[in-house]
Structure 1
Amino acid sequence: MRNSKYSAVVIGSGIAGLYSALKLEQQLDLPDGILLITKSNLGESNSYYAQGGMVAVLKSNENDSVESHVADTLKAGAGLSELNTVKFISENSDKVVKDLLTFGVEFDRDENGNFTLTKEAAHSVNRILHSGGDATGREIEIALCEAVKKNKNIKIYENTLAVELLVKDNECDGVIVFDEDKKEYEAVYSKVLILATGGLGQIYKYTTNPIGATGDGFALAYNAGAILQDMEFVQFHPTALAFDDEKNHNRFLISEAVRGEGAKLCDEFGTEFMFKYHEKRELAPRDIVARSIYCEMNNTGEPNVYLNATGIGSEKLMKRFPTIAKKCMEHNIDITKDLIPVAPAAHYYMGGVKTNLKGETSINGLYAIGEVSSTGLHGGNRLASNSLLECVVCAYETADFLKKSDLTLSDKYAEYKNIIEKYDENISKSDCDIDSLKAKVKDVMWTNVGIFRNEQTLKTALDEINKISLKFNRTDKCFNQNEYELRDMLIVAKLIIESALRRKESRGAHYRVDYLDKNETCEHSTLTKKEGELSFVK
């Protein structure tokens, strides 16, 4: 097996990973350079598909304040958002927006050159920056990708999957990676390892996430013994276009910003229904809107409801939402005239690897940034467009924190000889139909661990996931990327189910029909892997 060493390794090339690599290179003395690893092409990530925008509490915006943003975030978080975390991230938003501009990122502006700010569900004022109308994630990614490609101090591995973290005595010394094209393994040693691997939407039948979002980072951290937090909290976006993309195995997101601009949810006849569920109607928190839509679908027996955006006006719609308009037209839907068929889909993960604002996990040398992390910002239900802000603030802070660190590497090869030899052994391809097993996992999770849950559905899901695990019968080394993804999907599915069973209440996006009320006390759930088994810390 090949061996290499870098001062810092970043796994993932979404906004969290790209910005982390750029800030590390800018801020630190890195004698052995930086390696950026992505299991697909550079920039393919959940954040690439983020349409709505990025929260920015700008000093120039007299209508907004940190206090207002904090209040909105805490309210959406259903009691689990941590005040100090929320306040810190909000206070630093103006700073990181200015810093993004230095890397070639641009946001939409008005005729006077001022940023145009929009409003989304559960925000009290207009504070959302957007780029390219409804292509914010894509535009930020393109700019950061170009900056990374031009930086000669950042080496890039594409189509390369991280399969095991090298951890001993609670110290992370690197990672084993698998090159899918060459079918080769490599032991990469590093002083700093940042997980920026994104989410896990692909463990659900219906998701807005791209095909690579199989929860790899959560599984890596769990297998290494890191503490994970709030794994039961999966956010289902209320409005995904109700057509499956067979190529990407996902559903196209219809941004929350469309409702923020005035679009209404209705049935096929144009009759609105959100007034029955919440006083803020279409602008209620996401968990409430998703449950409301699901109830309407159950009541009517229809596979979707509709979004009526015709009242916004043709000119504004086409300027503000060109990507959505183009995608809908592929299905012969003219959003200026027609109702848009929508249904909920798995979208974002509030749980993750427990970190502080410096990205530190419970394992020394291991950091997590972005959707794979759980900082305490989102709590039980993420406020729209807070996630991109969290990515850049935490990446900025992690790089700033590491400025004082000694990143000189010592030789660690002998300590991991047994692990390395394991990956040098030959292994045959599984006899199982991996794609069929993946589809089974997705169906089990959607049916039993979705928007509505109860003890019976959760126990059914756990039983089914255990059966699939036994059939697959691989928990360690696998033959190819497809097998590794199934391995990780099974691990993460079990963590979600076990956590959901343990939380006997309804809070935020975790909604149990057998425990409809919130508990009087509000606590995070934390777990780790101890002696090979799942163990709850509290």
Structure 2
Amino acid sequence: MTTTAPAADAAATSLPSSDPATDDVLPRLATRLAAPPAGWTVQVDAIVVGSGIAGLTAALELRTRVPRVLLVTKDLLGSGSTVWAQGGIAAALDPEDSPAAHLSDTLVAGAGLCDPRAVEVLVTEGPARVRELVGRGAVFDTAPDGQISLTREGGHHADRIAHAGGDATGAEISRALVAQIEAVRDDPGIEVIEHALVLDVLTGPPDADGRPGAACGVTLHVIGEGQRDGVGAALGKAVIFATGGIGQVFRSSTNPPQATGDGIAAALRAGAALGDVEFVQFHPTVLWLGSGVKGQLTLVSEAVRGEGALLLDTDGVRFMPDVHPMAELAPRDVVAHAIVRQMAATGSDHVWLDARHLGADFLRKRFPTIHERLLEHGIDLTNDLVPVAPAQHYHSGGVVTDLVGRSSLRGLYAAGEVACTGVHGANRLASNSLLEGLVFAHRAAKHVTEQVAAGALHQQEPVVRAGDEALVAAASRSRVQRLATDGPGVLRSADGLRRAAVGLAAVPTDAHQRHDDGRLLAAPQVAEWETTNVHQVASVLTATALAREESRGGHARADFPATDERWRVRLNARLGHDGRLELSRTPID
């Protein structure tokens, strides 16, 4: 199986320059953040950014294989998105199941845009990686025979979802991996810096075509409680991004506050290609608490529907059997879109999730975390209908990588939600995300190890990239989130996307230079850097959603409601020499 062609450059064709869908709205974006010069420098062999399942796995795999590893995380080690994963981790662990069946379900959910080679890697290597998690101390729920207990979720035709603590799978996996890191924290071969925001990828001298050279480190800001202070530079032969998703681009999301798209934005600024950015998964069943609620919302796991909970509209009518043969267990994009349409038909802003018939004892035992969180809002899962509506949950796109995690920028790797491996296509199959982070982080670490040992990755001296620097005031974040929610939200249209593009282009990106009433709009600091990342991701998302004139998976266009085989391509995005966003298409094999 080949591991070459970090795919944005493989057989990619540019969109026509006169394409009326995008020619006047492609944004021009900065190639670096406005920031003070680095006040300190550390040099290592490999840098891992992020401490979810992908980042922790990569750091653990690298620790004994290269001389020195730096693990950087934005908050505490156990604070990534992994800890919030309720549903579980999917793998063909049952003798009656098979990787081939898992592959088939994944391809169906991906709506024709999965890379079959990447999915094959996922499903064939996944069971072994899950068993390795057990070896690292993760405790999964077990059946009476002592084997890992397996359940079913939407889009799966077999019981292949492993859980821990009923609905606390991510928290258990995070606990086990963090414990492994803590056990070696004093090892001179690894350094951990918490409370650190990575600002930009450092790159070497430009290539012959003028594009940025290889990744050779990162700049980062230690927020105040880490081992180093202020802005510094970490130099390394390889950088692995495992920075998670983009949830805070939207007004409401199930993602933690740290999910501001930092890795995607930094990779884009450094010259790496992004792919499938337009495919955003909106989880169908997120607790609805009113239209004014913002921030991280409470997820009601798909596993609740997997156990038999039903969706009812506000008239008490069950509607999913008329939408899809799998009813409530249809792929997430199908369920989310059906809910939005049913809400419109009934003039409501939510639907109901009904689990009462499953029994109080079962619900309390199977879903203890969900039960407790709902009780905090005065809702008893065992007795009450639960008001739910779709909210942003997962991003299927990201930094384009090959089968070993390499991006199109030499020396830069990505794994987990920040990456576009081709596994998810247009829509992620339930519980494939933890597995993807696990499998491809393992592969990326292995490849970095081999490349360092062979001398193929060597330390370059960073140079300042051509292009502009940017800073968006933190006060603009709510404006950007509103534009993203109203434009590339659950249901999209050309008019809404164009309004969003125009609005995003009007947001000042020179807040560090612009004065208002004699006062500087903003100075470089964490909230501004995060908001700049949110703005850049929202701009790319809007442009790619406008360019794709069809509906498929997590991308639904009211003006192009049908799936169009001419769009069975990956839409790539990268910055040109002048910072203008360039789009190209890569055919799906």
| 1:480 alignment partner in structure 2 | 525
TM-score (ref. length: structure 2): 0.85
1:464 Cα deviation after fit = 1.0
- The letter for the 2-side match of 1:163 is L
Q: Indicate which of 468, 478, 481 corresponds to 1:442.
A: 481
CA distance in 2, matches of 1:325, 1:175: 42
- The letter for the 2-side match of 1:40 is D
1:284-323 mapped onto 2 (5 Å cutoff): 284-323=330-369
| 1:533 alignment partner in structure 2 | 580
Deviations 1:392-417 (A, max 9, x none): 1111112222332236797755x43x
Deviations 1:21-58 (A, max 9, x none): 001114x1x22x11111111212122211100000112
CA distance in 1, matches of 2:373, 2:513: 39
TM-score (ref. length: structure 1): 0.92
1:167-206 mapped onto 2 (5 Å cutoff): 167-168=203-204, 169=206, 170-181=213-224, 184-206=230-252
1:291 Cα deviation after fit = 0.7
1:80-479 mapped onto 2 (5 Å cutoff): 80-151=113-184, 152=187, 153-168=189-204, 169=206, 170-181=213-224, 184-243=230-289, 249-268=295-314, 270-406=316-452, 412=460, 415-416=462-463, 432=473, 434=474, 436-470=475-509, 472=511, 479=524
- The letter for the 1-side match of 2:193 is Y
Q: Is 1:56 matched with 2:95? A: no
| 1:43 alignment partner in structure 2 | 78
Identical amino acids, percent of aligned pairs: 40
Q: 1:474 to 1:465 in 2, by over 3 A?
A: farther
1:383 Cα deviation after fit = 0.3
Contact 1:211/1:248 (<8 A) preserved: no
Deviations 1:176-198 (A, max 9, x none): 11112276111110011100000
1:149 Cα deviation after fit = 1.2
CA distance in 2, matches of 1:474, 1:251: 35
Moved over 3 A (4+): 244-248, 407-413, 469-475
1:93 Cα deviation after fit = 1.3
1:449 Cα deviation after fit = 1.2
CA distance in 2, matches of 1:43, 1:298: 39
SS of 2:251's partner is: coil
1:279 Cα deviation after fit = 2.2
Identify which range, 268-277 or 293-302, moves more after superposition.
268-277
SS of 2:203's partner is: strand
SS of 2:252's partner is: coil
Q: 1:248 to 1:458 in 2, by over 3 A?
A: closer
1:261 Cα deviation after fit = 0.2
Contact 2:404/2:447 (<8 A) preserved: yes
Gapped runs of 5+ residues in structure 2? Answer: 1-38, 207-212, 515-521
- The letter for the 1-side match of 2:526 is Q
Q: 1:175 to 1:244 in 2, by over 3 A?
A: farther
- The letter for the 2-side match of 1:264 is L
| 1:20 alignment partner in structure 2 | 58
Contact 1:297/1:304 (<8 A) preserved: yes
CA distance in 1, matches of 2:444, 2:487: 37
Higher relative contact order (CA 8 A, sep 6+): 2
Contact 2:237/2:459 (<8 A) preserved: no
| 1:495 alignment partner in structure 2 | 540
Q: Larger helix proportion, structure 1 or 2? A: 1
CA distance in 2, matches of 1:228, 1:270: 43
1:474 Cα deviation after fit = 7.5
Contact 2:487/2:542 (<8 A) preserved: no
- Aligned alpha-carbon RMSD (Å): 2.3
Q: 1:3 to 1:232 in 2, by over 3 A?
A: same
Q: Is 1:77 matched with 2:110? A: yes
CA distance in 1, matches of 2:57, 2:293: 28
Deviations 1:323-351 (A, max 9, x none): 00000111111111111111100000011
Gapped runs of 5+ residues in structure 1? Answer: none
CA distance in 1, matches of 2:575, 2:47: 24
Q: How many residues align?
A: 521
SS of 1:243's partner is: coil
